Amino acid sequence: MRIAGPALSMFMCSCLDCQRATGTGHSTAVLVPLGALSITGEIKSFGSPSDSGAVFTRHFCPGCGNPLFGASSRAPDVRMVSVGFFAGHNDWYAPNQLIFARSHRQWDMIADELPWHETYREKRIS
Ligand SMILES: [Zn+2]
């Protein structure tokens, strides 16, 4: 998988789906335009209704099971690439918000200065 061009946004998500998919308190993602993503080789996908009401499809490597990116029916023109995909080379990651903070758990440490949104950015809780 390759990504061309800059990220549209970098964020963390504490929705219950992300907690289940990551096995921890939040996912870390980079939002990129669909056209910026190029994929070689096989990927597997699993779609399910998300907390937002949209269908969220998670794409992963069938060989190792690592998450690659997600796609929401709510935003078909973008992809949410897992920052863990770049493990060892992701010091550039600078999240600008936490979304779905309504299901954030206290034990999951998030930087205090990061804006928290109850669901998406337009619905602030603080
Ligand atoms: Zn999420």
Report the pLDDT value the prediction gives residue 124, as an integer from 0 to 100: 46
**Given a cut of 50, is residue 126 above it in pLDDT?**
no
Mean of per-residue pLDDT scores for the chain = 92
Find, among 86, 89, 91, the residue nearest to 2 by Cα: 86
pTM: predicted TM-score of the whole model, two decimal places: 0.88
Chain Cα centroid distance, residue 86: 13
Across residues 46-64, what is the average pLDDT?
90
How many A from CA of 21 to the centre of ligand 1? 9
Q: How many angstroms from the chain centroid is the CA of residue 49? A: 15
Number of Cβ within 10 Å of residue 17's Cβ equals 19
Q: Where are the domains of the chain?
A: 2-103
CA of 74 to the centre of ligand 1 (A): 13
* CA 101 / ligand 1 centre spacing (Å): 10
Can you tell me the distance from the alpha carbon of 76 to that of 78, in angstroms, rounded to the nearest whole number? 6
CA 124 – ligand 1 centroid, Å: 16
**In angstroms, what is the span from residue 17 Cα to ligand 1's centroid?**
6
Distance 27 CA to ligand 1 centre (A): 6
- How would residue 53 be classed by pLDDT, with cut points 50, 70 and 90? confident
Say if strands 27-33 and 55-60 run parallel, antiparallel, or are unpaired: unpaired
Return d(Cα 78, Cα 91) in angstroms, integer: 22
Ligand 1 center–CA 46 separation, angstroms: 14
Per-residue pLDDT reduced to its tens digit, 99-109: 999 999 999 99
The radius of gyration of the chain's CA atoms, rounded to the nearest angstrom, is 14
Query: Chain-centre distance of CA 76, in angstroms?
Result: 14
Query: What does the pLDDT look like over 80-117, one tens digit per residue?
Result: 999 999 999 999 999 999 999 999 999 999 998 999 99
pLDDT band for position 5 (50/70/90)? confident
DSSP-assigned beta bridge partners for residue 72: 56
Architecture of domain 2-103 in this structure: Alpha-Beta Complex (3.90)
pLDDT digits (tens, 9 = 90+) for 9-38: 999 999 998 999 899 999 999 999 999 999
CB under 8 Å to 34, separation ≥6 — which residues?
76, 77, 78, 79
pLDDT value for 34: 95
Give the sign of the dihedral formed by CA 24, CA 107, CA 117, CA 6.
negative
